[in-house]
Amino acid sequence: MAPRCAALPYSVCLIRRWPPTATLFLLHYICHPIPRILIGQKLDSVGIGNAKVGVGWASATMLCVVVVVAAHRKSNYRGLAEAKQCPSVCCWMLLMNTWSKYSELPFPYAKLREACQEWGCFRVMNHGVPVLLMSEMKRVARSLLDLPIETKNQNVEVTPGTAYIALGKVNSIYESLCLSDLNSPDAMQTFFSQLDVCPKHREVMETYSRATLVLVMDIANKLAKSLGLSDGSDLFKGWPCNMRMNKYSFNPETVGSCGIPMHTDGTFLTLLQDDDVVGGLEVVDSKPDSFVAVEPCPNTFFVLVGDLAVAWSNGRLSSAKHQVQCIEGRIRVSIGTFMSTPTYVAVEAPEEFVDPLNPRLYVPFTRDDYANLRRDKKMYTDEALSFLLARS
């Protein structure tokens, strides 16, 4: 039997020797039909392979947080080591209960805030986006990415940074198609026309876009409320989101090579539907300066805080440095929904985040200002924000 922890105000179950993915599916199975909360705490946990897990149990609400703590951290990210040596990621798992009749119950905002401050990333389960829709969208993405290069080149830029990224632009492995704005029916129709998307695939993309748009906005609103903003429900209304469909043409000869080099996202939030089978995503644990692997977990989303959220929060949040490595010789496909600030609205911290003890850290800037800065300085991590620091 797993040991119990009587020191906490609610009972704690610690599960031995289960792989992290199996543990998550056990939690999903338990929680899906039963509206109750699972809140993970940082515990003196027992081992699960190369990782540790602490799982807390309590009464009903909307969110689950499971803390997976890496037991061994290897590979200094300044000197790349073999991807297979990376341990499982130390991150937060958020299980969002979609039972609407329980929506009035307390939401553990402190846990969400801590995840975004400490790691800048977390995984979301039980998020309300149908599993079948996620699978269909992955098939649509793969079919579009397999189109002839002449067709994919028609996916031209609508707004800055929304064009097709062809093989060879980043490296010989990575390519990406982009739908420029999920909030804009015109942008969606433009994408469909560019690639001559069939009616069935259009329907899947429209449905998936609506679902992920609702989810990323909900997460952003809860994150704002976790930082003390009372009007978070309308704060991000109309903020643009684009969607990128990414393909990594991995093969046995590319094992050990880099699919995407280390970077932070220059947006506000990223909602990532990662490959269900082929791993390779890694995030940086900043304290020991090492990469840790994010293992595939089907039917979930991985959320990353972007640099714009760091500036907007006046430095309260952290953006996640991450990369993709080739760890096996199979094609890898992921779909990212990137929430950003409106084009002509300055990114600046709300007054609630600024006081004599916490002066304004950054000068106001637009998302295009920041994108241009990253490109001109050839700096693709949050270090680019140092050029926007406010003078004391």
Tell which of 102, 125, 148 closes a domain.
Answer: 125
Give yes or no: residues 180 and 208 share one domain: yes
Same-domain status, 84 and 217: no
333 domain-assigned: yes
Is 233 inside a domain boundary? yes
- Global pTM value: 0.79
Dihedral over Cα of 56, 300, 225, 267: its sign:
positive
Indicate if 103 and 151 belong to the same structural domain. no
Residue finishing a domain among 97, 125, 153: 125
- The answer to whether the beta carbons of residues 307 and 292 sit under 8 Å apart is no
Confidence of residue 220 (pLDDT cuts 50, 70, 90): very high
- What tens digit of pLDDT does each residue of 161-173 get? 899 999 999 999 9
Residues 151 and 75 in one domain: no
pLDDT of 189 strictly over 90: yes
Whether residues 192 and 255 fall in one domain: yes
Would 313 be classed as within a structural domain?
yes
Mean pLDDT, residues 296-314: 96
Question: Is there a single domain that holds both residue 152 and residue 299?
Answer: yes
Q: How far apart are CA 109 and CA 94, in angstroms?
A: 11
* pLDDT over threshold 90, residue 63: no
* Residue positions counted in the chain: 392
Query: Is the predicted pLDDT of residue 178 greater than 60, yes or no?
Result: yes
Model pLDDT, residue 27: 47
Round the average pLDDT of the chain to a whole number and report it.
Answer: 78
Same domain assignment for residues 107 and 165: no
Q: What is the mean pLDDT of residues 316-325?
A: 96
**Structural domain includes residue 271:** yes
Between the two ends of the chain, the Cα-to-Cα distance in Å is 57
Q: Domains in the chain: how many in total? A: 2
Instruction: Identify whether residues 179 and 234 lie together within a single domain.
Output: yes
Predicted confidence band of residue 363 (pLDDT cuts 50, 70, 90): very high
Residues 259 and 381 occupy one common structural domain: yes
Distance from C-alpha of 342 to C-alpha of 391, rounded to nearest angstrom: 25
| 329 and 356 belong to one structural domain | yes
Last residue of a domain, one of 125, 147, 180: 125
Confidence of residue 316 (pLDDT cuts 50, 70, 90): very high
Asked whether residue 4 is assigned to any structural domain, the reply reads: no
pLDDT above 70 coverage of the chain, percent: 71
Q: Which position has the higher pLDDT, 363 or 13?
A: 363
Per-residue model confidence as pLDDT tens digits over 117-154 = 988 999 998 889 999 999 999 999 999 999 999 999 99
230's CB contacts (< 8 A; 6+ apart) are none
Domain that holds residue 198: 131-388
DSSP H helical segments within 33-126, as ranges?
109-118
